[in-house]
Amino acid sequence: TVSFVQPPNFSILQAHHQGIPGIFSTDFPTVPPVKFDYTGNVSQSLWQPVPGTKVYKLKYGANVQVVLQGTSIVTGENHPIHLHGYGFYIIGEGFGNFNPQTDTAKFNLVDPPRRNTTSLPVNGWPVIRFVADNPGVWLMHCHLDIHITWGLAMSFLVENGVSELESLEEPPVDLPIKMDPLDEENTSFATDMGNYCYKVMPFGLKNAGATY
């Protein structure tokens, strides 16, 4: 698995929008890199996740299905999984390991609930679907917030569509953005929030004169 690491200086959205390299990579895996009995007696040799700031890139308008598979690593737990930017349909859920051969027959494609948070049952799975029609960078994370700091999160990067209405807007000039706490010029304005510093400033000089 990949444990999500928040970038320390720039937000992923800012890095995406301004083309700042080295902040994130787009190689979030499509399927689990290692297949094992996720809800069984998991060997401790599989307990070590790979830390990374990886996003999953989506074309504008893509039909997205995500199987959220719980594991019994350390211990099973019910995780409330929340997605920013979208309401998604919960088309199925169950216990144990999701079986694509048999569990798809139980999908509710008639009147599934639409939510922005779904339960990930103890040692179980929900399956969600949404249409990626909201460009930008959207975090999906466990809302037991301490679990975010442990890495139970990932981000979708949804590309722009064709028209202006299908594309990211320019940020407002007074958008508070995350600053590099090691940058001396900025720390004088920064409020101390642990590792994160915030300051109100234009998004970037090249955007300062933009019309919105």
Site for Cu ion, rule CB under 5 A: 79, 142, 144, 147
The answer to whether the CB of 138 falls within 8 A of the CB of 151 is no
In the bound state with Cu ion, the residue whose beta carbon lies nearer, of 128 and 142, is 142
Residue 154 makes CB contacts below 8 A (sequence gap 6+) with 2, 4, 28, 54, 55, 56, 139, 140, 141
Q: How far is the CB of 56 from Cu ion (least distance, A)?
A: 19
Q: How far is the CB of 172 from Cu ion (least distance, A)?
A: 32
Q: Beta-carbon neighbour count of residue 100 at 10 Å?
A: 8
In the bound state with Cu ion, the residue whose beta carbon lies nearer, of 119 and 187, is 119
Rounded to 5 degrees, φ, ψ at 129 are: -135, 145
Q: How far is the CB of 207 from Cu ion (least distance, A)?
A: 36
Strands 124-132 and 62-67: antiparallel
In the bound state with Cu ion, the residue whose beta carbon lies nearer, of 147 and 199, is 147
Q: How far is the CB of 141 from Cu ion (least distance, A)?
A: 8
In the bound state with Cu ion, the residue whose beta carbon lies nearer, of 14 and 123, is 123
Q: How far is the CB of 120 from Cu ion (least distance, A)?
A: 8
Partners of 176 in the β-ladder: 200
Q: Beta-carbon neighbour count of residue 52 at 10 Å?
A: 16
* Rounded distance between C-alpha atoms, residue 145 and residue 142, angstroms: 7
In the bound state with Cu ion, the residue whose beta carbon lies nearer, of 15 and 139, is 139
Q: What is the CA radius of gyration of the chain?
A: 19
